[in-house]
A and B are shown apart, each in its own frame.
Chain A
Amino acid sequence: MKLSEILSLLEGTLVSEHADWDLEIGKVAAADLMSDVLAFADPESVLVTGLVNPQVVITADMADIVGIIFVRGKVPPPETVAVAREERIPLIITSYTMFEACGRLYQAGLKAVDLES
């Protein structure tokens, strides 16, 4: 699924500068625990989270995650957007809850990340 389709599924808003809308996304990680993200998120996946601090973007960068979706309409502070700008990671806000955002993405065919042993 293209990043642009995710944006419209979630009725989202881009809050960072860069977005490659044709980027193909296959998998989604949803977590508020950054160590979980670092442990389980696949490269090339997108992260759905309720946290908006800059470490979320740094975590995504370390794990080669290609996009971040903030749920419940949370707006990331400027320092978070600044890191995203430097690392060219798109940030999207959706007003849906974590549950509903994930549900919509799952229903549209996106898969969970693989859990390693």
Chain B
Amino acid sequence: MSKVSQVTRLQELVYELEIAEVMTRDFLSVTPQMTMREFKEFLQEHRFSGAPVMEDGELVGIISIEDLIEALAAGELGCLVEAKMTRDPVVLKANDLVVRSVDYFGRFGYGRFPVVDDQGAIVGVLTKGDITRGLLRKLEVEYHQEEIRRARVNHIFDDVSSDHTSISLRYDVEARNFERGGRASRSIKRALKRFGLPRQIVRRAAIATYEAEMNVVIHADDPGGVITAEIQPDQIVIEAIDMGPGIPDIDLAMQRGFSTAPDWIREMGFGAGMGLKNIDRCADRMELLSPHGTRTTLRIVIYMDER
């Protein structure tokens, strides 16, 4: 990743992340009745530079190291926090985008903002440090996801050594279950996308598989057939196999417009005698075998190099 794209991604993140995702939820607060001396000890103990002031669970103000310095200079360490705090502090909303807080830090010059929910109840505190940590955490997560994706997609065939490496997917296709038709094709399409294959290859494989799957749904004897997809380094091999009734005249079946589909299938927009033609158009190689008119095997091969 280049430096330029990192900067861009960071800028994007500021517009994507909500304040709730980066703020400190387990924040510490002080009470209005605390003395400034106790507040000084609080800051020293926790190494903070400020804190929200809470009374009975309600936000009543905010106090910072600046207020402490003023109290020190005036010799007023015995003073109560409520006398020195800023009342009605500027707050941020938890579901605001981080970019808004960046604007607030610049505009008001404060080191921290209380964060409230839609009802106005305090739910966290936001400092510039929180924003930096939140952005880094998000970038780290994205970087890991990217690493995992690359490992899975690009190198799977390089990293695994065998004489013949392939990934095989197999789906049962129920005859005449129109509702479930397309389940195998959708899964195969997703898998191919997941492997990072070119869009045109994925699209051709998806269309050919879907036509083949619908053919099994429409024409196969019960219980149906199977669809397999074998992803090899240089090609995808898709097979649709059913156990009957077979195709008596393959040449006739290959003719555009020839169909034996029943009316109810035609009403659904299928069975117009174009499926095999479509498959042939999408495939680099297509073989249709229906020996003795019983079982049908349709084999579709798509090369990884785009035509």
Q: Measuring CB to CB, which residues of chain A are less than 8 angstroms from any residue of chain B? A: 32-36, 38-39, 43, 49, 51, 53-56, 58-59, 61-64, 79, 87, 116
Q: Mark B70-81, 1 if CB is under 8 A from A, else 0.
A: 000000000000
> Cβ of B277: which chain A residues have Cβ within 8 Å of it?
39
A49 to B274 CA separation, bound complex (whole angstroms): 18
> Cβ of B186: which chain A residues have Cβ within 8 Å of it?
58, 61-62, 87
Taking the closest CB of chain A, its distance from the CB of B179, in whole angstroms, is 7
Find out whether the CB atom of A59 lies under 8 angstroms from the CB atom of B281: no
Find out whether the CB atom of A62 lies under 8 angstroms from the CB atom of B268: no
Residues of chain B from 195 to 214 with CB closer than 8 A to chain A in the complex: 199, 203, 206-207, 209-211, 214
Find out whether the CB atom of A35 lies under 8 angstroms from the CB atom of B278: yes
Chain A contact surface mostly: helix
> Cβ of A33: which chain B residues have Cβ within 8 Å of it?
269, 272, 274
Rank and list the top 9 A-B pairs by shortest CB-CB distance, nearest first: A35-B274, A58-B182, A34-B269, A62-B206, A62-B210, A51-B269, A38-B207, A39-B278, A62-B207
Find out whether the CB atom of A55 lies under 8 angstroms from the CB atom of B178: yes
Q: Mark B196-239, 1 if CB is under 8 A from A, else 0.
A: 00010001001101110010000000000000000000000000
**Complex A-B: 28 CB contacts under 8 Å:** A33-B269, A34-B270, A35-B270, A35-B272, A35-B275, A35-B278, A39-B278, A39-B281, A49-B269, A51-B268, A51-B269, A53-B269, A54-B179, A54-B182, A55-B182, A55-B214, A58-B181, A58-B182, A58-B185, A58-B210, A61-B186, A61-B189, A62-B182, A62-B209, A63-B203, A63-B206, A79-B179, A87-B186
Q: Please, which residue of chain B has its CB at the minimum distance from the CB of A61?
A: B186
> Cβ of B203: which chain A residues have Cβ within 8 Å of it?
43, 62-64
Chain B contact surface mostly: helix
> Cβ of A55: which chain B residues have Cβ within 8 Å of it?
178, 181-182, 214, 268-270
> Cβ of B182: which chain A residues have Cβ within 8 Å of it?
54-55, 58, 62
> Cβ of A59: which chain B residues have Cβ within 8 Å of it?
210, 269
Q: Please, which residue of chain B has its CB at the minimum distance from the CB of A58?
A: B182
Find out whether the CB atom of A63 lies under 8 angstroms from the CB atom of B178: no
Taking the closest CB of chain A, its distance from the CB of B109, in whole angstroms, is 37
Q: Which of B199, B203, B207, B211 has its CB near the most chain A CB atoms (within 10 A)?
A: B207
A49 to B178 CA separation, bound complex (whole angstroms): 19
Taking the closest CB of chain A, its distance from the CB of B47, in whole angstroms, is 47
> Cβ of B199: which chain A residues have Cβ within 8 Å of it?
43, 64
> Cβ of B178: which chain A residues have Cβ within 8 Å of it?
53, 55
A43 to B203 CA separation, bound complex (whole angstroms): 9
Q: Please, which residue of chain B has its CB at the minimum distance from the CB of A53?
A: B268
- Checking B179, B181, B211 against A38 with a beta-carbon cut-off of 8 angstroms, the contacting residue is B211
Taking the closest CB of chain A, its distance from the CB of B221, in whole angstroms, is 21
> Cβ of B214: which chain A residues have Cβ within 8 Å of it?
55
> Cβ of A51: which chain B residues have Cβ within 8 Å of it?
268-269
- Checking A39, A54, A61 against B274 with a beta-carbon cut-off of 8 angstroms, the contacting residue is A39
A56 to B182 CA separation, bound complex (whole angstroms): 10
A34 to B259 CA separation, bound complex (whole angstroms): 14
A33 to B259 CA separation, bound complex (whole angstroms): 14
Taking the closest CB of chain A, its distance from the CB of B265, in whole angstroms, is 10
- Checking A35, A54, A61, A64 against B211 with a beta-carbon cut-off of 8 angstroms, the contacting residue is A35
Taking the closest CB of chain B, its distance from the CB of A50, in whole angstroms, is 9
A24 to B206 CA separation, bound complex (whole angstroms): 24
Additional 4 contacts, C-beta under 8 A, given A38-B207, A59-B210, A62-B189: A38-B211, A38-B278, A63-B206, A64-B203
Taking the closest CB of chain B, its distance from the CB of A58, in whole angstroms, is 4
A43 to B200 CA separation, bound complex (whole angstroms): 9
